[in-house]
């Protein structure tokens, strides 16, 4: 299933399950790495800011795999 865009990631980065975070993290990296898949990235600054705020919490996570 192809992620829908920033709406999808905005919801998914809030997951608390470590396994899901690992999966979403890789999906997000793939999404951000391919400009053709992320045309809405610059369109919705508020949603992007929210995703970044959630990812900041991941960096502070006690799980080293999530932090990486």
Name the residue range of residue 26's domain: 1-6+20-59
Q: Is residue 66 part of a domain?
A: no
Q: Is residue 29 part of a domain?
A: yes
Residue 46 exposure: Cα atoms within 13 Å on the Cβ side: 0
pLDDT of residue 67: 63
pLDDT of residue 19: 85
Per-residue pLDDT 10s for the chain (68 aa) are 555 678 888 888 888 888 888 888 888 888 888 888 877 677 778 888 888 888 888 777 777 776 66
Q: Is residue 68 part of a domain?
A: no
Measure the CA–CA gap between 1 and 66, rounded to whole angstroms.
Answer: 22
Q: Is residue 45 part of a domain?
A: yes
pLDDT of residue 66: 64
The total number of structural domains in the chain stands at: 1
Q: Is residue 24 part of a domain?
A: yes
Q: Is residue 25 part of a domain?
A: yes
């Amino acid at each position: 299933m192809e992620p829908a865009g920033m709406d999808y990631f905005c919801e998914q980065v809030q997951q608390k399950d470590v396994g899901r975070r690992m999966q979403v993290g890789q999906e997000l990296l793939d999404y951000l790495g391919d400009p053709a898949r992320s045309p809405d990235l610059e369109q919705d600054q508020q949603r992007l800011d929210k995703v970044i705020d959630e990812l900041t919490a991941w960096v502070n996570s006690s799980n080293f795999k999530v932090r990486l």
